């Protein structure tokens, strides 16, 4: 079945450092890809998405590019802030039929001042 693999956390960075969180997927066909963020005590919020190969999703300084050849959707940000500390989930869904999200295990990001 479909699956998503994320890098283990926690990722610990200093403020203004560059962030990369790796995500690879296994799926039949061509899924849509998502990054969700979960702040402490809250539900998940969609951060960005890409629905086809070579699409780049971006939001709030975060970016991820849908790479079909490497089945990857790595999350990047040029300069992290303390407020970016959260758990980040990579997810996929099929592009046809009824959408259900398949999530990775999540990566905790800790940013210190």
Partner 1 sequence: DSGVTQTPKHLITATGQRVTLRCSPRSGDLSVYWYQQSLDQGLQFLIQYYNGEERAKGNILERFSAQQFPDLHSELNLSSLELGDSALYFCASSAQGEGIYEQYFGPGTRLTVT
Tokens representing 73 are: 């959707």
44 scored as a contact of partner 1 (CB under 8 A): yes
How far apart are alpha carbons 67 and 20 in whole angstroms?
Answer: 15
Rounded to 10 degrees, the C-alpha dihedral 32/38/43/44 comes to -10
Q: Select the residue interacting with partner 1 from 66, 73, 93, 109 (CB under 8 A).
A: 93
104 scored as a contact of partner 1 (CB under 8 A): yes
Q: How far is the CB of 17 from partner 1 (least distance, A)?
A: 27
How far apart are alpha carbons 113 and 99 in whole angstroms?
Answer: 39
105 scored as a contact of partner 1 (CB under 8 A): yes
Q: Select the residue interacting with partner 1 from 42, 69, 70, 113 (CB under 8 A).
A: 42
101 scored as a contact of partner 1 (CB under 8 A): yes
103 scored as a contact of partner 1 (CB under 8 A): yes
Residues 59 to 88 in contact with partner 1, rule: CB under 8 A: none
How far apart are alpha carbons 54 and 104 in whole angstroms?
Answer: 21
């Amino acid at each position: 079945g479909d699956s998503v693999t994320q890098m283990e956390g926690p990722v610990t960075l200093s403020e203004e450092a560059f962030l990369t969180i790796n995500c690879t997927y296994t799926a039949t066909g061509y899924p849509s890809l998502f990054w969700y963020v979960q702040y402490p005590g809250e539900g998940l919020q969609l951060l960005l998405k890409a629905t086809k190969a070579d699409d780049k999703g971006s939001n709030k300084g975060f970016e991820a590019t849908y790479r079909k050849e490497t089945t990857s959707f790595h999350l990047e940000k040029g300069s992290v802030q303390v407020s970016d500390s959260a758990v980040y989930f990579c997810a996929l869904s099929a592009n046809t039929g009824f959408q259900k999200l398949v999530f990775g295990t999540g990566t905790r990001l800790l940013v210190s001042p």
